[in-house]
């Protein structure tokens, strides 16, 4: 039955399966999350920029979000045709490393300007941001200055967050609270509960609710207000700096061990951290660049200073404990 179905499907598709390895120009296959490769994301410009210098073709295969990219190569295992996985972040880098699917990048990254010096042998960072609550300055002249400040506000003050099981910032929020409060995290979540308007599936629903005026603040990134300032000339939005500090989200790319073109992949990652590529990222992915761009960084990025106090969690703790912390947060919100 299965064989027949396979045969039927193959016949139906006009035997579309092409023999691998018959490429005239080498194809660099990159798995990335959808919004990275979409027409508004950095994907098209990076593809064009790298193709100019490599005599190769860059091909993006996309998934709904970063974590699904990892799942895709895990499912494909050694048979994966991907050369690079792009868009993994701090929260899942440890899990990705543990799969053993990634090869060391072998690049010298000492010149990067990141919240902390970069020593990772496997993954190359290409942008970063901080999780933060975003608000409208006109509607909210005095935003809360910490989670505890927020908890002390009347229950009519609403925030909207994302489900940590289905959303990257949702998971980042759980890690942030944990990094700031340790074992007090459940208490903080219980305190937040009356303020939480709803917990959406993805970032865009939550951000939509905020823009529609349903909530006073939304969990997003410190760079979200920059989008409105640059793309819409709208300077009403800001993020609320929290006294307990902010957690960075560093987005990384890695070369797969199974890649047939490791050298080409390495060249792409080197390009990714070059000035040319980094100039593209701030106004397409709306994150901070990983090198100092000087005057090439739009001034809107400096309108609000980056968070002063930074938090972090060891990668091994994230890998071992994040599911427990998620359950802890969800339990407290029940």
Partner 1 sequence: MKRSRRSNSPLPPRPLRLLGGTGVAAAIAGLVVLVLWSIAAAASAEPAAARTPVDVRHLLAMTTIQAGLTTVLSLLVGTALAWALNRLRFPGRDLAVGLFASAIVTPGIVVAFGLLAVWGRSGWVNAAWQALFGAPLDVPIFGLGGILAAHVLLDGAFAARVLLGRLDAIPMARLKTGQSLALTPWTRFAVLDWPAIRGSLPGLAAIIFLLAFTSFPIVLLLGGGPANQTLEVAIYSAVRLDFDLNAAVLLALVQIGACSLVVLAAAGFGHVPASLGPVRQQRWSDRGWAQLAQWVVLGLGVLGFALPLAAILVDGFGTGLGALLQRPTFWRSAAASLVIASLSAALTLLLALALGLGRAASANPVFRTGIGVPSYAYLATPAVVLALGIFLFVRNSGISPDAAAPVVVVIANALLALPFAVATLGPPLDAIALSRGRVIRSLALGGWRQFSDVEWPLVGRDAGLVVALAFCFSLGDLGVIALFGTQDFATLPLLMVRSLGAYRTNDAAAIAAIMLSLTILAFVAIPRLFGAIAHARA
Min dist. Cβ of residue 206 to partner 1 (A): 9
Residue 328 region, left (φ>0) first, then alpha (ψ -120 to 50), else beta? Answer: alpha
Q: Which residues contact 19 (CB under 8 A, 6 or more apart)?
A: none
Q: Which two tokens stand for residue 58?
A: 């860059």
Min dist. Cβ of residue 163 to partner 1 (A): 6
CA proximity to 306, closest of 323, 322, 289: 289
Contact between 41 and partner 1 (CB under 8 A)?
yes
Min dist. Cβ of residue 103 to partner 1 (A): 21
Binder among 23, 48, 61, 111 for partner 1 (CB under 8 A):
61
121, 105 in Cβ contact below 8 A? yes
Binder among 94, 186, 191, 208 for partner 1 (CB under 8 A):
208
Interface residues for partner 1 in 217-276 (CB under 8 A)?
A: 224, 227-228, 231
Residue 245 region, left (φ>0) first, then alpha (ψ -120 to 50), else beta? Answer: left
Contact between 64 and partner 1 (CB under 8 A)?
yes
Min dist. Cβ of residue 118 to partner 1 (A): 27
Continuous segment of H or E residues that includes residue 320: helix 315-333
70, 85 in Cβ contact below 8 A? yes
Which residue ranges make up the site for partner 1 (CB under 8 A)? 1-2, 5-6, 9-10, 12-14, 16-18, 34-35, 37-41, 43, 60-64, 67-68, 71, 74-77, 158, 163, 165-166, 193, 196-205, 207-209, 211-214, 224, 227-228, 231, 286, 323-324, 326-327, 330, 333-334
């Amino acid at each position: 039955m299965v064989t027949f179905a396979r045969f039927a499907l193959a016949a139906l598709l006009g035997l579309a399966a092409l023999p691998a390895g018959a490429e005239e120009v080498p194809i660099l296959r990159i798995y990335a999350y959808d919004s990275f490769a979409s027409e508004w994301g950095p994907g098209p410009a990076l593809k064009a920029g790298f193709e100019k210098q490599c005599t190769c073709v860059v091909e993006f295969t996309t998934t709904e979000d970063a974590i699904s990219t990892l799942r895709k190569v895990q499912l494909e295992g050694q048979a994966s045709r991907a050369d690079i996985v792009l868009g993994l972040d701090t929260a899942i880098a440890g899990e990705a490393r543990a799969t053993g699917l990634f090869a060391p990048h072998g690049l010298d990254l000492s010149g990067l300007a990141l919240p902390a010096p970069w020593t990772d042998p496997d993954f190359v960072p290409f942008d970063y941001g901080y999780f933060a609550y975003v608000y409208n300055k006109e509607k909210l002249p005095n935003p809360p200055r910490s989670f505890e400040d927020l908890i002390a506000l009347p229950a009519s003050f609403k925030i909207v967050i994302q489900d940590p099981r289905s959303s990257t910032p949702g998971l980042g929020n759980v890690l942030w609270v944990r990094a700031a409060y340790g074992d007090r995290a459940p208490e903080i979540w219980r305190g937040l509960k009356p303020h939480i308007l709803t917990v959406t599936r993805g970032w865009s629903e939550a951000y939509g609710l905020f823009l529609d005026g349903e909530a006073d603040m939304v969990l997003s990134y410190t760079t979200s207000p920059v989008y409105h300032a640059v793309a819409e000339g709208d300077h009403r939005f800001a993020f609320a700096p929290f006294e307990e500090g902010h957690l960075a989200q560093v987005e990384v790319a890695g070369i797969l061990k199974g890649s047939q073109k490791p050298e080409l992949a390495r060249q792409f990652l080197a390009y990714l951290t070059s000035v040319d590529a980094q100039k593209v990222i701030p106004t397409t992915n709306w994150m901070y660049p990983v090198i100092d761009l000087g005057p090439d960084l739009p001034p809107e990025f400096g309108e609000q200073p980056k968070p002063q106090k930074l938090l972090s969690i060891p990668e091994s703790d994230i890998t071992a404990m994040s599911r427990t912390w998620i359950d802890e947060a969800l339990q407290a919100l029940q």
